Structure 1
Amino acid sequence: MIEPAVTVVLIDDETCIRHFVSTALAREGLAVFDAGTDARGLDEIARRHPDLLIVDINLPDIDGVDLIREIRRSSSVPLIVLSSRDRESDKVAALNAGADDYLTKPFGLPELVARIQARLRRLASNPRHWEGIVRFGCVTIDLGERRVMREGGTVHLSRTEYRLIALLAQHAGRLLTYDQLLTEIWGPSHTQGQHYLRVYVGHLRQKLERDPGQPEHILTEAGEGYRLVGVQ
Protein backbone atom coordinates (compact mmCIF):
# COMPACT_ATOMS: atom_id res chain seq x y z
CA MET A 1 0.00 0.00 0.00
CA ILE A 2 1.00 3.63 -0.52
CA GLU A 3 2.33 5.25 2.64
CA PRO A 4 -0.33 6.85 4.88
CA ALA A 5 -0.69 10.63 5.30
CA VAL A 6 -0.44 11.16 1.54
CA THR A 7 -3.15 13.62 0.50
CA VAL A 8 -4.60 13.69 -3.02
CA VAL A 9 -6.95 16.22 -4.60
CA LEU A 10 -8.95 14.79 -7.51
CA ILE A 11 -10.66 17.18 -9.96
CA ASP A 12 -13.09 15.52 -12.36
CA ASP A 13 -16.60 16.52 -13.45
CA GLU A 14 -17.74 12.89 -13.81
CA THR A 15 -19.29 11.78 -10.53
CA CYS A 16 -18.79 8.09 -11.30
CA ILE A 17 -15.08 8.60 -11.99
CA ARG A 18 -14.63 10.59 -8.78
CA HIS A 19 -16.36 7.89 -6.75
CA PHE A 20 -14.47 5.04 -8.42
CA VAL A 21 -11.04 6.66 -8.08
CA SER A 22 -11.61 8.06 -4.58
CA THR A 23 -12.87 4.74 -3.21
CA ALA A 24 -10.06 2.77 -4.81
CA LEU A 25 -7.29 5.10 -3.71
CA ALA A 26 -8.67 5.26 -0.17
CA ARG A 27 -8.22 1.47 -0.04
CA GLU A 28 -4.57 2.08 -0.94
CA GLY A 29 -4.13 4.31 2.09
CA LEU A 30 -4.50 7.76 0.52
CA ALA A 31 -6.66 10.59 1.81
CA VAL A 32 -8.58 11.72 -1.28
CA PHE A 33 -10.53 14.98 -1.56
CA ASP A 34 -12.54 15.30 -4.76
CA ALA A 35 -14.02 18.23 -6.65
CA GLY A 36 -16.33 18.41 -9.65
CA THR A 37 -15.40 21.89 -10.86
CA ASP A 38 -12.23 23.89 -11.32
CA ALA A 39 -13.28 26.45 -8.70
CA ARG A 40 -13.94 23.77 -6.09
CA GLY A 41 -10.73 22.03 -7.05
CA LEU A 42 -8.62 25.17 -6.58
CA ASP A 43 -10.31 25.71 -3.23
CA GLU A 44 -9.46 22.15 -2.13
CA ILE A 45 -5.85 22.61 -3.23
CA ALA A 46 -5.60 25.81 -1.17
CA ARG A 47 -7.18 24.14 1.87
CA ARG A 48 -5.54 20.70 1.75
CA HIS A 49 -2.04 21.47 0.42
CA PRO A 50 -2.00 18.01 -1.22
CA ASP A 51 0.96 15.77 -1.96
CA LEU A 52 -0.40 14.90 -5.41
CA LEU A 53 -3.07 16.13 -7.85
CA ILE A 54 -5.19 14.16 -10.32
CA VAL A 55 -6.87 16.42 -12.86
CA ASP A 56 -9.33 15.75 -15.68
CA ILE A 57 -8.69 18.29 -18.44
CA ASN A 58 -12.15 17.79 -19.99
CA LEU A 59 -13.90 20.09 -17.52
CA PRO A 60 -16.95 21.96 -18.85
CA ASP A 61 -16.17 25.41 -17.44
CA ILE A 62 -12.47 25.82 -18.19
CA ASP A 63 -9.86 24.52 -20.59
CA GLY A 64 -7.87 21.88 -18.74
CA VAL A 65 -4.53 23.22 -19.90
CA ASP A 66 -5.44 26.64 -18.50
CA LEU A 67 -6.37 24.98 -15.21
CA ILE A 68 -2.95 23.29 -15.04
CA ARG A 69 -1.27 26.66 -15.61
CA GLU A 70 -3.41 28.21 -12.87
CA ILE A 71 -2.45 25.42 -10.45
CA ARG A 72 1.23 25.80 -11.29
CA ARG A 73 1.15 29.46 -10.23
CA SER A 74 0.97 28.33 -6.60
CA SER A 75 1.78 24.61 -6.44
CA SER A 76 4.58 22.41 -7.71
CA VAL A 77 3.31 19.05 -6.40
CA PRO A 78 3.08 16.10 -8.83
CA LEU A 79 0.10 16.38 -11.18
CA ILE A 80 -1.35 13.46 -13.14
CA VAL A 81 -3.83 14.19 -15.94
CA LEU A 82 -6.82 11.96 -16.64
CA SER A 83 -8.37 12.56 -20.06
CA SER A 84 -10.37 10.95 -22.81
CA ARG A 85 -8.30 12.97 -25.27
CA ASP A 86 -5.70 10.68 -26.77
CA ARG A 87 -4.16 12.97 -29.39
CA GLU A 88 -0.46 13.60 -29.07
CA SER A 89 -1.02 17.36 -29.29
CA ASP A 90 -3.28 17.27 -26.21
CA LYS A 91 -0.73 15.29 -24.24
CA VAL A 92 2.09 17.64 -25.25
CA ALA A 93 0.02 20.71 -24.33
CA ALA A 94 -0.79 19.33 -20.88
CA LEU A 95 2.81 18.31 -20.17
CA ASN A 96 4.12 21.66 -21.37
CA ALA A 97 1.63 23.44 -19.09
CA GLY A 98 3.09 21.63 -16.08
CA ALA A 99 1.55 18.15 -15.86
CA ASP A 100 3.91 15.37 -14.76
CA ASP A 101 2.02 12.44 -16.28
CA TYR A 102 -0.92 11.78 -18.61
CA LEU A 103 -3.28 8.84 -18.43
CA THR A 104 -5.96 8.27 -21.08
CA LYS A 105 -9.50 7.17 -20.20
CA PRO A 106 -10.56 4.44 -19.91
CA PHE A 107 -7.73 3.42 -17.64
CA GLY A 108 -7.01 0.52 -15.33
CA LEU A 109 -6.80 1.19 -11.63
CA PRO A 110 -3.54 -0.79 -11.20
CA GLU A 111 -1.87 1.47 -13.76
CA LEU A 112 -3.10 4.63 -12.01
CA VAL A 113 -1.87 3.35 -8.64
CA ALA A 114 1.49 2.41 -10.17
CA ARG A 115 1.89 5.87 -11.64
CA ILE A 116 1.00 7.50 -8.32
CA GLN A 117 3.51 5.30 -6.51
CA ALA A 118 6.19 6.18 -9.06
CA ARG A 119 5.58 9.90 -8.61
CA LEU A 120 5.64 9.66 -4.83
CA ARG A 121 8.81 7.55 -4.85
CA ARG A 122 10.50 10.10 -7.07
CA LEU A 123 9.40 12.90 -4.77
CA ALA A 124 10.59 11.05 -1.67
CA SER A 125 13.95 10.14 -3.18
CA ASN A 126 14.65 13.65 -4.47
CA PRO A 127 12.95 16.05 -2.05
CA ARG A 128 14.76 19.25 -3.04
CA HIS A 129 18.09 17.93 -1.75
CA TRP A 130 20.02 19.91 -4.31
CA GLU A 131 22.12 22.76 -2.95
CA GLY A 132 19.91 25.37 -4.61
CA ILE A 133 17.55 28.22 -4.00
CA VAL A 134 14.09 27.93 -2.42
CA ARG A 135 11.74 30.93 -2.43
CA PHE A 136 8.40 31.59 -0.79
CA GLY A 137 6.73 34.94 -0.23
CA CYS A 138 9.51 37.48 0.20
CA VAL A 139 11.90 34.87 1.65
CA THR A 140 14.84 33.24 -0.15
CA ILE A 141 16.70 30.23 1.28
CA ASP A 142 20.10 29.43 -0.20
CA LEU A 143 20.63 25.81 0.83
CA GLY A 144 24.15 25.74 -0.54
CA GLU A 145 25.28 28.80 1.40
CA ARG A 146 23.05 27.99 4.39
CA ARG A 147 21.69 31.53 4.24
CA VAL A 148 18.18 32.92 4.64
CA MET A 149 17.17 36.31 3.25
CA ARG A 150 13.98 38.34 3.49
CA GLU A 151 13.36 41.29 1.20
CA GLY A 152 17.06 41.34 0.34
CA GLY A 153 18.36 41.37 3.91
CA THR A 154 19.90 38.48 5.81
CA VAL A 155 17.71 36.83 8.43
CA HIS A 156 19.68 35.66 11.45
CA LEU A 157 18.55 32.21 12.53
CA SER A 158 19.83 29.92 15.23
CA ARG A 159 21.33 26.60 14.20
CA THR A 160 18.11 24.79 15.15
CA GLU A 161 15.86 27.33 13.41
CA TYR A 162 17.87 26.94 10.22
CA ARG A 163 17.79 23.14 10.37
CA LEU A 164 14.01 23.23 10.79
CA ILE A 165 13.27 25.64 7.92
CA ALA A 166 15.80 23.88 5.66
CA LEU A 167 14.15 20.53 6.35
CA LEU A 168 10.71 21.94 5.54
CA ALA A 169 12.11 23.60 2.39
CA GLN A 170 13.73 20.37 1.20
CA HIS A 171 10.32 18.68 1.48
CA ALA A 172 8.30 21.72 0.35
CA GLY A 173 4.60 21.05 -0.09
CA ARG A 174 4.70 17.81 1.89
CA LEU A 175 3.47 17.14 5.40
CA LEU A 176 6.29 16.37 7.82
CA THR A 177 4.97 14.76 10.98
CA TYR A 178 5.96 15.80 14.48
CA ASP A 179 7.91 12.56 14.89
CA GLN A 180 9.77 13.02 11.61
CA LEU A 181 10.84 16.57 12.48
CA LEU A 182 11.79 15.77 16.06
CA THR A 183 13.82 12.72 15.03
CA GLU A 184 15.66 14.58 12.26
CA ILE A 185 16.54 17.60 14.39
CA TRP A 186 16.84 16.35 17.96
CA GLY A 187 17.11 12.58 17.56
CA PRO A 188 14.81 9.63 18.34
CA SER A 189 14.79 10.24 22.09
CA HIS A 190 12.82 13.48 21.61
CA THR A 191 9.78 12.19 19.72
CA GLN A 192 7.44 13.29 22.51
CA GLY A 193 8.81 16.85 22.62
CA GLN A 194 6.26 18.62 20.45
CA HIS A 195 6.63 21.75 22.57
CA TYR A 196 10.14 22.12 21.10
CA LEU A 197 8.61 22.34 17.65
CA ARG A 198 5.94 24.83 18.66
CA VAL A 199 8.58 27.14 20.09
CA TYR A 200 10.88 27.02 17.08
CA VAL A 201 8.06 27.20 14.53
CA GLY A 202 6.85 30.28 16.39
CA HIS A 203 10.34 31.81 16.09
CA LEU A 204 10.42 31.09 12.36
CA ARG A 205 7.01 32.60 11.79
CA GLN A 206 8.07 35.76 13.62
CA LYS A 207 11.12 36.07 11.39
CA LEU A 208 9.78 34.85 8.03
CA GLU A 209 6.01 35.30 7.81
CA ARG A 210 4.35 38.56 6.81
CA ASP A 211 1.78 38.07 9.59
CA PRO A 212 3.02 35.54 12.17
CA GLY A 213 -0.47 35.25 13.64
CA GLN A 214 -1.92 34.26 10.27
CA PRO A 215 0.90 32.30 8.60
CA GLU A 216 0.69 31.80 4.83
CA HIS A 217 3.66 29.46 4.34
CA ILE A 218 4.70 27.63 7.52
CA LEU A 219 1.44 25.84 8.22
CA THR A 220 0.30 23.61 11.06
CA GLU A 221 -1.57 20.41 10.25
CA ALA A 222 -3.45 19.96 13.52
CA GLY A 223 -2.49 16.79 15.31
CA GLU A 224 -0.06 15.78 12.55
CA GLY A 225 2.84 18.13 11.83
CA TYR A 226 3.95 21.05 9.68
CA ARG A 227 4.11 21.88 5.99
CA LEU A 228 5.86 24.61 3.98
CA VAL A 229 3.67 25.83 1.10
CA GLY A 230 3.78 28.47 -1.60
CA VAL A 231 7.33 27.59 -2.65
CA GLN A 232 8.27 28.87 -6.08
Structure 2
Amino acid sequence: MRQRILLIEDDLDISNMIERFLTKEGYTLVCAYDGETAIEILKKDFFTLLVLDLMLPKMDGITCLKAIRMQSLVPIIILSAKGSDIDKALGLGFGADDYLAKPFSMTELLARVKALIRRASYQKEMSVNSIQIGALSILPDTYSVLKKDQTIQLTLKEFKILYLLAMNGNKIFTKEEIYQRVWKEDYYEDANVINVHISRLREKIEDNPSRPKYVKTIWGIGYRWGSESD
Protein backbone atom coordinates (compact mmCIF):
# COMPACT_ATOMS: atom_id res chain seq x y z
CA MET A 1 0.00 0.00 0.00
CA ARG A 2 1.41 3.42 -1.01
CA GLN A 3 2.10 5.86 1.83
CA ARG A 4 -0.05 9.00 1.56
CA ILE A 5 1.53 12.41 2.23
CA LEU A 6 -0.25 15.75 2.56
CA LEU A 7 2.03 18.55 1.34
CA ILE A 8 1.10 22.03 2.58
CA GLU A 9 3.20 24.53 0.63
CA ASP A 10 2.09 27.74 -1.10
CA ASP A 11 5.14 28.08 -3.36
CA LEU A 12 4.02 26.30 -6.53
CA ASP A 13 7.55 25.66 -7.76
CA ILE A 14 8.59 24.01 -4.50
CA SER A 15 5.29 22.14 -4.21
CA ASN A 16 5.54 20.76 -7.76
CA MET A 17 9.18 19.77 -7.23
CA ILE A 18 8.43 17.88 -4.01
CA GLU A 19 5.33 16.26 -5.51
CA ARG A 20 7.21 14.99 -8.57
CA PHE A 21 10.15 13.69 -6.55
CA LEU A 22 8.20 11.88 -3.83
CA THR A 23 5.73 10.46 -6.37
CA LYS A 24 8.66 8.91 -8.24
CA GLU A 25 9.80 7.43 -4.92
CA GLY A 26 6.49 5.61 -4.55
CA TYR A 27 4.46 7.98 -2.36
CA THR A 28 0.98 9.35 -3.05
CA LEU A 29 0.95 13.15 -2.70
CA VAL A 30 -2.00 15.42 -2.02
CA CYS A 31 -1.19 19.14 -2.18
CA ALA A 32 -2.72 22.06 -0.27
CA TYR A 33 -1.62 25.66 -0.79
CA ASP A 34 -2.89 27.25 2.43
CA GLY A 35 -3.53 26.18 6.02
CA GLU A 36 -7.31 26.40 5.96
CA THR A 37 -7.58 24.07 2.97
CA ALA A 38 -5.17 21.63 4.62
CA ILE A 39 -7.31 21.43 7.77
CA GLU A 40 -10.41 20.64 5.69
CA ILE A 41 -8.58 17.97 3.68
CA LEU A 42 -7.27 16.34 6.85
CA LYS A 43 -10.79 16.10 8.28
CA LYS A 44 -11.89 13.98 5.32
CA ASP A 45 -8.86 11.89 4.46
CA PHE A 46 -6.12 9.79 6.07
CA PHE A 47 -2.41 10.50 5.63
CA THR A 48 0.75 8.75 6.77
CA LEU A 49 2.70 12.00 7.00
CA LEU A 50 2.36 15.78 6.62
CA VAL A 51 4.94 18.17 5.18
CA LEU A 52 4.08 21.68 6.38
CA ASP A 53 5.55 25.02 5.35
CA LEU A 54 5.53 27.73 8.05
CA MET A 55 4.97 30.67 5.72
CA LEU A 56 1.41 30.17 4.48
CA PRO A 57 -1.44 32.46 3.37
CA LYS A 58 -4.77 32.69 5.26
CA MET A 59 -3.44 30.70 8.23
CA ASP A 60 0.23 30.72 9.21
CA GLY A 61 2.06 27.44 9.64
CA ILE A 62 2.25 27.49 13.45
CA THR A 63 -1.49 28.15 13.75
CA CYS A 64 -2.12 25.38 11.24
CA LEU A 65 0.16 23.04 13.19
CA LYS A 66 -1.70 23.71 16.44
CA ALA A 67 -5.06 23.13 14.72
CA ILE A 68 -3.84 19.84 13.23
CA ARG A 69 -2.61 18.64 16.61
CA MET A 70 -6.08 19.23 18.02
CA GLN A 71 -7.44 16.53 15.73
CA SER A 72 -4.59 14.27 14.68
CA LEU A 73 -1.33 12.62 15.76
CA VAL A 74 -0.10 12.31 12.17
CA PRO A 75 3.70 12.80 11.92
CA ILE A 76 4.64 16.30 10.70
CA ILE A 77 7.79 17.66 9.07
CA ILE A 78 8.05 21.46 9.11
CA LEU A 79 9.61 23.33 6.18
CA SER A 80 10.68 26.93 6.57
CA ALA A 81 13.05 29.55 5.23
CA LYS A 82 13.40 30.60 8.86
CA GLY A 83 16.07 28.22 10.08
CA SER A 84 16.91 29.86 13.41
CA ASP A 85 16.96 27.91 16.66
CA ILE A 86 14.00 29.99 17.89
CA ASP A 87 11.80 28.95 14.99
CA LYS A 88 12.96 25.38 15.35
CA ALA A 89 12.12 25.25 19.03
CA LEU A 90 8.78 26.96 18.42
CA GLY A 91 7.76 24.48 15.73
CA LEU A 92 8.79 21.38 17.63
CA GLY A 93 7.25 22.76 20.82
CA PHE A 94 3.83 22.85 19.17
CA GLY A 95 4.00 19.22 18.14
CA ALA A 96 6.05 18.95 14.95
CA ASP A 97 8.15 15.80 14.68
CA ASP A 98 10.98 17.10 12.50
CA TYR A 99 12.23 20.34 10.95
CA LEU A 100 13.92 21.04 7.61
CA ALA A 101 15.23 24.51 6.77
CA LYS A 102 15.06 25.89 3.24
CA PRO A 103 16.91 25.48 0.98
CA PHE A 104 17.10 21.69 1.29
CA SER A 105 17.92 18.81 -1.01
CA MET A 106 15.31 16.32 -2.15
CA THR A 107 17.58 13.54 -0.92
CA GLU A 108 17.56 14.98 2.59
CA LEU A 109 13.79 15.41 2.53
CA LEU A 110 13.35 11.80 1.40
CA ALA A 111 15.60 10.59 4.22
CA ARG A 112 13.56 12.54 6.78
CA VAL A 113 10.28 11.21 5.34
CA LYS A 114 11.47 7.60 5.47
CA ALA A 115 12.85 7.97 9.01
CA LEU A 116 9.69 9.58 10.36
CA ILE A 117 7.37 7.01 8.77
CA ARG A 118 9.58 4.22 10.12
CA ARG A 119 9.52 5.77 13.61
CA ALA A 120 5.74 6.22 13.53
CA SER A 121 5.31 2.60 12.48
CA TYR A 122 7.52 1.44 15.34
CA GLN A 123 5.61 3.55 17.87
CA LYS A 124 2.33 2.08 16.65
CA GLU A 125 3.69 -1.43 17.15
CA MET A 126 4.94 -0.57 20.63
CA SER A 127 1.63 0.99 21.67
CA VAL A 128 0.38 -2.50 22.55
CA ASN A 129 2.56 -2.15 25.68
CA SER A 130 0.87 1.07 26.75
CA ILE A 131 -0.36 1.54 30.31
CA GLN A 132 -3.79 3.15 30.58
CA ILE A 133 -4.45 5.31 33.65
CA GLY A 134 -7.55 7.45 33.41
CA ALA A 135 -7.27 9.62 30.30
CA LEU A 136 -3.52 8.99 30.07
CA SER A 137 -1.79 6.32 28.00
CA ILE A 138 1.83 5.84 29.07
CA LEU A 139 4.08 4.18 26.48
CA PRO A 140 7.31 3.20 28.25
CA ASP A 141 8.87 1.68 25.13
CA THR A 142 8.86 5.03 23.36
CA TYR A 143 8.97 7.36 26.40
CA SER A 144 5.76 9.02 25.23
CA VAL A 145 2.38 9.89 26.72
CA LEU A 146 -1.04 10.32 25.16
CA LYS A 147 -3.96 12.14 26.72
CA LYS A 148 -7.27 11.39 25.04
CA ASP A 149 -5.26 10.26 21.97
CA GLN A 150 -3.33 13.55 21.83
CA THR A 151 0.46 13.43 22.22
CA ILE A 152 1.81 15.14 25.35
CA GLN A 153 5.30 16.54 24.76
CA LEU A 154 7.30 15.58 27.87
CA THR A 155 11.02 15.86 28.48
CA LEU A 156 12.83 12.67 29.45
CA LYS A 157 13.02 13.75 33.11
CA GLU A 158 9.31 14.64 33.17
CA PHE A 159 8.45 11.26 31.69
CA LYS A 160 10.59 9.42 34.26
CA ILE A 161 8.92 11.29 37.14
CA LEU A 162 5.48 10.52 35.68
CA TYR A 163 6.35 6.85 35.19
CA LEU A 164 7.84 6.51 38.67
CA LEU A 165 4.75 7.90 40.38
CA ALA A 166 2.19 6.22 38.14
CA MET A 167 3.73 2.76 38.42
CA ASN A 168 3.86 2.84 42.22
CA GLY A 169 0.23 3.52 43.05
CA ASN A 170 -0.25 5.26 46.37
CA LYS A 171 3.41 5.09 47.45
CA ILE A 172 4.65 8.48 48.62
CA PHE A 173 8.04 9.56 47.26
CA THR A 174 10.12 12.22 48.97
CA LYS A 175 11.89 14.78 46.80
CA GLU A 176 15.15 13.07 47.67
CA GLU A 177 13.86 9.70 46.44
CA ILE A 178 12.54 11.20 43.19
CA TYR A 179 15.83 12.96 42.54
CA GLN A 180 17.94 9.89 43.22
CA ARG A 181 15.77 7.62 41.05
CA VAL A 182 15.33 10.01 38.11
CA TRP A 183 18.63 11.90 38.07
CA LYS A 184 20.70 8.95 39.38
CA GLU A 185 22.69 11.40 41.51
CA ASP A 186 23.00 12.29 45.17
CA TYR A 187 20.42 14.79 46.41
CA TYR A 188 21.78 18.01 47.93
CA GLU A 189 18.50 19.39 49.27
CA ASP A 190 17.86 21.48 46.16
CA ALA A 191 14.07 21.22 46.15
CA ASN A 192 13.67 23.80 43.39
CA VAL A 193 14.67 21.45 40.57
CA ILE A 194 12.00 18.94 41.64
CA ASN A 195 9.39 21.66 42.12
CA VAL A 196 10.01 23.06 38.63
CA HIS A 197 9.75 19.64 36.95
CA ILE A 198 6.59 18.74 38.88
CA SER A 199 5.03 22.09 37.98
CA ARG A 200 5.82 21.65 34.27
CA LEU A 201 4.56 18.07 34.33
CA ARG A 202 1.26 19.18 35.86
CA GLU A 203 0.87 21.95 33.28
CA LYS A 204 1.08 19.32 30.56
CA ILE A 205 -1.01 16.43 31.92
CA GLU A 206 -3.52 17.95 34.35
CA ASP A 207 -6.87 19.43 33.31
CA ASN A 208 -6.48 21.91 36.18
CA PRO A 209 -2.84 22.18 37.35
CA SER A 210 -3.88 24.12 40.47
CA ARG A 211 -6.05 21.15 41.51
CA PRO A 212 -4.01 18.19 40.25
CA LYS A 213 -5.69 14.84 39.78
CA TYR A 214 -2.66 12.76 38.82
CA VAL A 215 0.37 14.18 40.66
CA LYS A 216 -0.61 14.81 44.28
CA THR A 217 1.40 16.81 46.81
CA ILE A 218 1.70 15.27 50.27
CA TRP A 219 2.64 18.32 52.29
CA GLY A 220 5.82 18.01 54.30
CA ILE A 221 6.69 14.67 52.68
CA GLY A 222 6.67 14.63 48.87
CA TYR A 223 4.47 13.39 46.03
CA ARG A 224 2.35 10.41 45.04
CA TRP A 225 0.07 9.36 42.22
CA GLY A 226 -3.61 10.23 42.55
CA SER A 227 -6.10 7.48 43.36
CA GLU A 228 -9.80 7.04 42.55
CA SER A 229 -10.66 7.87 46.19
CA ASP A 230 -8.93 11.28 46.14
TM-score, normalised to structure 1's length? 0.55
Kindly indicate whether residue 49 of structure 2 is the aligned counterpart of residue 52 of structure 1. yes
The structure with the largest alpha-carbon Rg is 2
Report the alpha carbon displacement of residue 141 of structure 1 after superposing the two structures with TM.
11
Q: Which amino acid aligns with 1:132?
A: I
Is the CA contact 1:10–1:18 (under 8 Å) kept in the aligned structure 2? Answer: yes
Report the alpha carbon displacement of residue 65 of structure 1 after superposing the two structures with TM.
1.2
How many aligned positions are there? 138
- Identity value in percent: 30
Q: Provide the residue aligned with 2:10 in structure 1.
A: 13
Alignment of 1:135-174 (within 5 A): none
| 1:131-174: CA deviation from partner (whole Å, max 9, x where unpaired) | 23499xxxx89899xxxxxxxxxxxxxxxxxxxxxxxxxxx9xx
Kindly indicate whether residue 165 of structure 2 is the aligned counterpart of residue 130 of structure 1. no
Among 83, 89, 94, the residue aligned to 2:91: 94
- Gaps in structure 1 of 5+ consecutive residues: 145-171, 173-232
Alignment of 1:1-232 (within 5 A): 4-127=1-124, 128-133=127-132
Q: Which amino acid aligns with 1:125?
A: Y
Report the alpha carbon displacement of residue 47 of structure 1 after superposing the two structures with TM.
2.0
What secondary structure is seen at the aligned counterpart in 2 of 1:82?
strand
Report the alpha carbon displacement of residue 123 of structure 1 after superposing the two structures with TM.
1.4
What secondary structure is seen at the aligned counterpart in 1 of 2:130?
coil
TM-score, normalised to structure 2's length? 0.55
What secondary structure is seen at the aligned counterpart in 2 of 1:59?
coil
RMSD: 2.4
Report the alpha carbon displacement of residue 67 of structure 1 after superposing the two structures with TM.
1.1
- Gaps in structure 2 of 5+ consecutive residues: 140-148, 150-230
Alpha-carbon distance in 2 for matches of 1:46, 1:114: 27
> Taking CA–CA contacts closer than 8 Å with sequence separation of 6 or more, which of the two structures ends up with the larger relative contact order?
1
